[in-house]
Amino acid sequence: MINSTARTNVAWNYYQRGLHDLAINELKRLLSESPNESFLHALLAACLLSKKRLHAAEYEVGQALKLDPHESFALLTLARVLVFRNRWQQALEKCEEVLAQDPGLYSAHLLQSQIHLLAHDPANALKSLNAAAILAPDDIDVLNGFGEYYLQTGDLIQAEEYTLAVLARYADDADAHLTMAKIKLQRGDTAGAEDHVKFVMTNDPESEAALQMFANIKMRRSWMLGLWWRWNVWMQQRGQMGTILVLIGAFILFNFLRLVVEDMGYPRSATLIGYLWWVVVIYSWVGIPLYHRQLQSELKKFRFSSDY
């Protein structure tokens, strides 16, 4: 009979490979035999969080920390739960708590970097990434972290360089393929993006990230939603303050043009410019629900073709 340590390693391996249902089943069996193992509760919480079962993940990570308040993996999993709850500052504090007791745990720096990116703080995101790279310069998650960082900050050349470095060493890495798909999609290469997504989906047909990316590719080919998609990606790279400044600048520009054209003796053209501003505003707002409705539609009707 396989001992508990070997079975825990099996569950961990399932988790690392994204086989969360298999990991959950194994962990439930282990916990039925050893209910007071903090790490098992923490790993179960991480698997549940990957399945977006937030309430169940919160419960399990709470159980883990009751058994061992200093369990690093449990604290990091709690930080990830807090990210899902949009409590970013508390999540950063949990990462600091982990690093205070285990300075060599580079995954805490990586999580901090992801949180800073969510908060549109690229300077601190890069600082955290560099801290992780000092501890584990060749780690696949660190390299992927740099790829995602440069992708989100709009430097596609650097993003591609890091992502290709990952694929050169780990040709079947799903995260790297999805990042490369995003890079190609932003460059307008929908066929190239689709190749990378198909590769991921052949290995993991239930990958939500791959399914969403596949739907994004289909929508990118749509004239109306494709235009909105490009605008939205560009705006996301500006961050919250940048978005506000762009919108204020656009409002001032449209009104300035309207006044200039009106003073030149073209009242109808001035009115048209005023209407054009409202078209931009309405298109920006209407595009969001249209995008999500189309996304859900594409995900529901998706089926594998016999070609792949």
Residues 152 and 38 in one domain: yes
Whole-angstrom distance, CA of residue 207 vs CA of residue 229? 22
Tens-place pLDDT, residues 245-279: 655 666 676 666 767 766 777 777 767 766 665 65
Q: Is residue 308 part of a domain?
A: no
The answer to whether position 213 is within a domain reads no
One domain, residues 88 and 14: yes
Which range of residues forms the domain containing residue 267? 224-301
Residue 59 domain flag: yes
- Whether 193 and 295 map to the same domain: the answer is no
In-domain check, residue 306: no
Structural domain count of the chain: 2
The answer to whether the CB of 23 falls within 8 A of the CB of 11 is: yes
For residues 196 and 242, state if they share a domain: no
Residue 210, domain member (yes or no): no
Q: Which of 205, 236, 270 is the last residue of a domain?
A: 205
**Hey, is 1 helix, strand or coil?**
coil
Provide the pLDDT for residue 19. Answer: 83
For residue range 100-149, list pLDDT tens digits in order.
999 999 999 999 999 999 888 999 999 999 999 999 999 999 999 999 99
Q: Is 201 inside a domain boundary? A: yes
- Supply the pLDDT for residue 218: 73
pLDDT for 304: 45
0.85 cut: is pTM over it?
Answer: no
Alpha helices in 264-307 (DSSP H): 267-301
What SS3 class is residue 98? helix
189 and 230 share a domain?
Answer: no
- Domain membership of residue 211 (yes or no) is no
User: Of 170, 205, 240, which one is at a domain's C-terminal end?
Assistant: 205
Do 214 and 302 touch, CB atoms closer than 8 A?
yes
Q: Which residues of the chain have pLDDT under 70?
A: 1-3, 206, 221-251, 253-256, 258, 261-262, 270, 273-308
Q: In this structure, what token pair is assigned to residue 90?
A: 């508390």
The pLDDT assigned to 228 comes to 52
Q: In this structure, is residue 216 part of a structural domain? A: no
For residue 84, the domain's CATH number is 1.25.40.10
CA 139 vs CA 76, 166, 170, 172, 255: distances in Å: 18, 9, 11, 15, 52
Do 157 and 229 sit in the same domain of this protein? Answer: no
Indicate whether 149 and 296 sit together in one domain: no
Looking at the fold, whether 94 and 197 belong to one and the same domain comes out as yes
Q: Domain check: are 243 and 282 in the same one?
A: yes
Q: Which of 205, 234, 265 represents a domain boundary (last residue)?
A: 205
Closest CA to 116 of 68, 66, 171, 79: 79
Amino acid at 132: A
Domain identity same for 112 and 190: yes
The secondary element (H helix, E strand) that includes residue 226 is helix 223-263
Verify that 110 and 168 share a domain, yes or no.
Answer: yes
One domain for residues 245 and 169: no
